[in-house]
């Protein structure tokens, strides 16, 4: 995607982001897992997270399980 955007010259300046494979992955602490489900009424979740969840579900509807 970075190459496509660069080649299409969609931006006046070059993209300086680089991608690298990771060698280790560390899961977040347990209290971070499922935070949104347990705190949907929090203002941050309502105004920042919820719109992103809606957009994600719309975009990837065909890949989601029926009860998700």
pLDDT tens profile 18-38: 889 988 999 999 988 989 999
Residue 44 lies in a domain: yes
Our count of domains for the chain comes to 1
Residue 16 lies in a domain: no
Could you tell me which residues come within 8 angstroms of residue 39 by beta carbon, excluding any fewer than 6 positions away?
A: 45
What does the pLDDT read at residue 11?
A: 86
Given a cut of 70, whether residue 67 has pLDDT beyond it is no
53 in Cβ contact with 36 (< 8 Å): yes
What does the pLDDT read at residue 60?
A: 93
Its domain, for residue 57, covers 34-68
Residue 3 lies in a domain: no
53 in Cβ contact with 44 (< 8 Å): no
DSSP helix/strand/coil, 24: coil
Helices (runs of H) and strands (runs of E) counted in the chain: 4, 0
**How high does pLDDT run on average in the chain?**
90
**Cα 56 from Cα 49, distance rounded (Å):** 11
């Amino acid at each position: 995607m970075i190459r496509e955007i660069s080649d299409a010259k969609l931006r006046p300046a070059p993209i300086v982001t680089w991608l690298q494979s990771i060698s280790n992955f560390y899961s977040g602490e347990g209290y971070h897992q499922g935070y949104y489900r347990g705190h949907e009424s929090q203002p941050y979740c309502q105004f920042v997270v919820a719109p992103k969840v809606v957009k994600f579900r719309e975009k990837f509807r065909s890949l989601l399980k029926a009860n998700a």
